């Protein structure tokens, strides 16, 4: 815990604190969310694949550009950790930090998931969220955060001096290892900070520490995404269950999750195209 107030306030402390906040990354110049386009594409879309993610495990899945995918709660309150890569180049992947800087600590319908530098483009758009009613509670908590990293065996060892092999990082590594047909040591660095799907989190008001609380998700709740590029995804059903008490545990009650992939109505996307790479990359040859 940080030590504060070792020093006396200066005489102009009140004045220094009174400066007004300014949004760091105004998004006014980004393309607006086209609800008509996505709703038209969602109309009469066809389910083409379903993947069950067992409790305390992870699986990969592929989503063609221009298709939708959903993460669905099916048996009980369960959170999931989501990784996304460009299927054709896994060096391009979801960038939680920049997504957070653009859209805030928690994401929902209309927000886009951006990829890492030097690519920096929207790779998925959230098109439906049955938990959008939750908003922010009195603790400052909300769902679908881009704050947390993912539970991992290294931090668990440091904090608890225990070896635990079903952290979301471990699960995602195994899933990507199987999909890429490479040993974990070769691909572990490709597993990245996640979108914590269904997880209810925030920062404590006094110490501003990251907290979690019981997820409000229930069976049949889902969050839906539109794949802006060809995507490779991996989803871990967190070993913390609804994360009401722990996120690296064999004692928490855990449930499976389901990934559903949908083909859109073909006529709806005639004018749509995948986003190009960031203009800076194109102009300066960074990629």
pLDDT tens column, 89-141 = 999 999 999 999 999 999 999 999 999 999 999 999 999 999 999 999 999 99
- The answer, yes or no, to whether residue 4 has pLDDT greater than 80, is no
pLDDT, tens digit (0-9, with 9 covering 90-100), for 175-227: 999 999 999 999 999 999 999 999 999 999 999 999 999 999 999 999 999 99
* Predicted pLDDT of residue 214: 98
Which pLDDT score, from 0 to 100, does residue 5 have?
A: 82
Name the pLDDT band for 249 (thresholds 50, 70, 90).
confident
Average pLDDT over residues 79-96: 98
How many domains are there within the chain?
1
Q: Which residue has the higher pLDDT, 287 or 283?
A: 283
pLDDT for the residue 7: 92
CA distance 172 to 235: 7
Is residue 18 a part of any domain in this protein?
no
pTM (predicted TM-score): 0.95
Q: Tell me whether residue 165 is in a domain.
A: yes
Nearest to 52 by CA among 200, 256, 217, 232: 256
Residue 222 lies in a domain: yes
Whether 216 maps to a domain, the answer reads yes
At 1, is the pLDDT very low, low, confident or very high (cuts 50, 70, 90)? low
- Could you give the CA distance from residue 45 to residue 262 in angstroms, rounded to a whole number? 6
Q: Is residue 15 part of a domain?
A: no
Is 25 domain-assigned? no
Q: What is the mean pLDDT of residues 139-153?
A: 96
The pLDDT, as a whole number, for residue 79 is 98
Longest dimension (CA), the chain: 67
Which contiguous run of DSSP H or E holds residue 142? strand 142-145
Quick: pLDDT tens for 25-40. 999 999 999 999 999 9
| Closest C-alpha among 275, 268, 55 to residue 171 | 55
* 8 domain residue, yes or no: no
Mean per-residue pLDDT for 135-148? 97
- Output the average pLDDT for the chain: 95
Helix (H) or strand (E) holding 72: strand 68-73
Has residue 188 been placed in a domain?
yes
pLDDT at position 285: 66
Q: By residue range, what is the domain housing residue 186?
A: 51-265+274-284
What pLDDT was estimated at residue 265? 84
Segment 173-177 long-range contacts (CB within 8 Å, at least 24 positions apart): 174/58, 175/58, 175/59, 175/60, 175/234, 175/236, 176/60, 176/83, 176/234
pLDDT at 287 over 60: no
Predicted confidence band of residue 247 (pLDDT cuts 50, 70, 90): confident
């Amino acid at each position: 815990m940080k030590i504060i107030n070792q020093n006396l306030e200066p005489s102009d402390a009140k004045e220094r604190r009174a400066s007004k906040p300014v949004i760091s990354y105004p998004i006014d110049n980004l393309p607006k969310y086209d609800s008509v386009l996505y709703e038209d594409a969602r109309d009469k879309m066809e389910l083409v694949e379903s993947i069950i993610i067992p409790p305390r495990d992870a699986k990969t899945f592929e989503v063609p550009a221009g298709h939708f995918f959903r993460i669905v709660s099916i048996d009980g309150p369960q959170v999931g950790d989501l990784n996304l890569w460009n299927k054709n180049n896994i060096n391009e992947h979801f960038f939680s930090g920049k997504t957070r800087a653009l859209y805030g600590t928690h994401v929902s319908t209309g927000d886009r998931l951006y990829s890492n530098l030097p690519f920096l483009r929207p790779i998925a758009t959230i098109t439906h969220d049955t938990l959008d009613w939750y908003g922010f509670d009195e603790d400052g908590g909300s769902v679908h955060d881009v704050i947390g990293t993912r539970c991992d065996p290294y931090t668990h060892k440091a904090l608890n001096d225990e070896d635990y092999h079903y952290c979301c990082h471990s699960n995602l590594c195994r899933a990507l290892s199987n999909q890429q047909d490479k040993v974990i040591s070769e691909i572990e660095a490709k597993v990245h900070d996640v979108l914590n799907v269904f997880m209810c989190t925030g920062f404590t008001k006094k110490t501003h520490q990251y907290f979690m609380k019981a997820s409000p998700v229930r069976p049949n709740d889902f969050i839906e995404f539109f794949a802006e590029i060809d995507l490779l995804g991996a989803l871990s059903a967190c070993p913390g269950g609804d994360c009401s008490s722990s996120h690296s545990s064999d004692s928490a009650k855990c449930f499976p999750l389901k990934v559903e992939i949908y083909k859109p109505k073909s006529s709806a996307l005639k004018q749509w195209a995948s986003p190009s790479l960031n203009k800076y990359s194109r102009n300066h040859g960074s990629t």
